[in-house]
Chain A
């Protein structure tokens, strides 16, 4: 029997679901191997079902979304967070703890009482997440490899080394030495150090390496290199503001 799969999206840009659709060469074979019960971005055929694997993109920001996520969790054997919004809350979480939702709403919509909105949080704030595919957006090859393991019932291996490892393997010079604030040392690898290889400092879109990233040491290095505290804080918060040690940075 084909594995039953659901693909869902909450608050975000839908870029992770789009990366799945960007598997132009593999898409038809991939979908053919699955019993795809729900993927509303691509299909209006939606079935009420349990899922062997549910892939969930986006952060949770409304009461309705929280309810829907809890339902998906109840129906899914494995729940996989795909992308930075689901993993960490996304760029929309970057001012969590600094700027209240009500203030943001007043500014953008002219009133703070338009809707009930939550501060942007990762899925794990509400339900158990079995595996995280990081990135803004996810790497489509990593998704394919992970999907292959998950569909056999195995949890894939998570990347546990920083972007710097791959950057060294590509023999790039260190951008910190060129006076750029690069988040490579704190950020989950698996992107083949794409941005530093183009000469662009890492902005941390794959999130921090949980439990391994030395935020305090990094702060010291960045400040010694002459970067201003508010600049460093804004950079650290871009994709991982909900990481406790980053949330605390003044």
Chain B
């Protein structure tokens, strides 16, 4: 018997789940990623450095700002560009704004319907109108950061190599702070909800985690990667630690660390750096320790909810810091093209993202490499499936339901990933 979930709904992308069962044995189980490939690393060659982020941010819509930031920072790394403190703070605000938008969408609209038994957030709204409307306003607050800092919600243009083409106004920043303060209660609600659910325990198995080391304060930028086995490395050395192989059932290459699958994302970040959270997010992290089961990948939903609180508060504190420093109407730093290689890694909502480029003396791309979080997670999803499927083999409906919840908990990216389970007799 062959069970197929195709397409898997409520994820970003085209994919599916395939389980082959013989008698009472699970013969094979796979997370299929069927999104048509686009070959960004190939067609970007020859592109002038200044336009590279404009193309590369289009790898993904939901994490467009993460791609934008990884791309801009990799270019700056290659060309030796140093940006101002104001630019750094605006970028920190931007990536936290994206986390609010993306996590609000995933936690409330994509993951929550599974736990409350609805097919979609719209169906859910009929029973919980106030909560759904509030969640949408929280998502909108995240989008307001995109709008005011990059020019629009998806694929903004204002964030450039060297800084921002136009610096937002003080009024803009105050609007962001106000929107975050008004919708903060819904971030708290997400923690309350996801800490109250009993998770399916079928995928329980050991996880290895990797994340970008944010330095002293919890966050999404950094210069080093860290792994849960205690290892850490400069992001420039990522190829020595993260191996990629092509597998037939997935158009995302599979990644491994020391020969084994690993997990990236909110759960990885909390596991490795949760003790660096601040304020109420830190309290919530401590309070829900027993609910954050690091051997159950579905805990990623609760980890995202805690990050939602962190990210809302950080947007507010970044605005306060920017306003207290006084906004300067500065232009992006002047850049001189030169030959060289640059690498940057940032934490996208769904996990570690790496961009690496090599340029010729005129500043044109001669080589590019991008590893997305969904590609890094794909092998770990397969691992969870292999653990979970035999535990559920007697109950087909439950098997399909739980495998979907597992895949969705990773918040796979529409464009880096996925699609539902249908049964085919073979």
Q: Which residues of A contact B (CB under 8 A)?
A: 9-19, 21-22, 24-25, 27-28, 31-32, 36, 39-46, 58-62, 64-65, 90-92, 94-95, 99, 101, 103-105, 107-111, 114-115, 117, 120, 136-137, 140, 194-195, 198-200, 203, 205, 230-231, 234-235, 238
Contact = CB atoms under 8 A, between A and B. Distances in A.
B59 interface: yes
A77 to B, nearest CB: 23
**Top-3 shortest CB links A-B:** A15-B61, A11-B36, A43-B120
Contact of A117 (B37, B54, B140, B155): B37
Contact of B9 (A43, A92, A136): A43
A171 B125 CA distance: 44
Interface in B114-130: 119-123, 125
Contact of B37 (A27, A61, A205): A61
Given A11-B36, A14-B62, A21-B109, A99 B42 contact: yes
A234 B47 contact: yes
Contact of A234 (B34, B48, B136): B48
B133 interface: yes
Contacts of B165: 198-200
A35 B40 CA distance: 37
B414 A44 contact: no
Given A42-B120, A117-B37, 14 more contacts: A12-B38, A14-B61, A15-B64, A32-B122, A36-B122, A45-B123, A61-B37, A90-B38, A94-B55, A137-B152, A198-B158, A203-B54, A234-B48, A238-B54
Nearest to A15: B61
A1 B296 CA distance: 46
A61 B35 CA distance: 9
B328 interface: no
Contacts of B34: 62, 64
Interface in B144-184: 151-155, 157-158, 160, 165-166
Contacts of B151: 194-195, 198, 200
A108 B40 CA distance: 9
B136 A24 contact: yes
Contacts of A92: 38-40, 43
B76 interface: no
B306 interface: no
Contacts of A91: 38, 40, 43, 55, 58
Given A14-B61, A15-B64, A198-B166, A95 B42 contact: yes
B10 interface: yes
B30 interface: no
Interface of B: 7, 9-14, 34-43, 46-48, 51, 54-55, 58-62, 64, 105, 109-110, 113, 119-123, 125, 132-133, 136-137, 139-140, 143, 151-155, 157-158, 160, 165-166, 246, 248, 251, 253, 414-415, 419-420
A230 B363 CA distance: 13
A46 B9 contact: yes
A19 B59 contact: no
Contact of B157 (A194, A230, A238): A194
Identify the interface centre among A17, A44, A62, A90: most chain B CB within 10 Å of its CB.
A44
Contacts of A99: 42-43
Given A18-B62, A24-B137, A104-B43, A65 B48 contact: no
A13 B414 contact: yes
Given A14-B13, A42-B10, A22 B153 contact: yes
Contacts of B61: 13-16, 18, 137
Contacts of B136: 24-25, 27-28
A185 B215 CA distance: 46
B132 A28 contact: yes
Contacts of B58: 13, 15, 90-91, 136
Contacts of B36: 10-11, 58-62, 65, 117, 120
A205 B151 CA distance: 14
Contacts of B123: 43, 45
Given A43-B9, A203-B54, A12 B415 contact: yes
A94 B143 CA distance: 29
A10 B42 CA distance: 20
A188 B131 CA distance: 39
A108 B55 contact: no
A231 to B, nearest CB: 6
Contacts of B251: 115
B246 A114 contact: yes
Given A11-B35, A45-B123, A205 B155 contact: yes
A51 B42 CA distance: 38
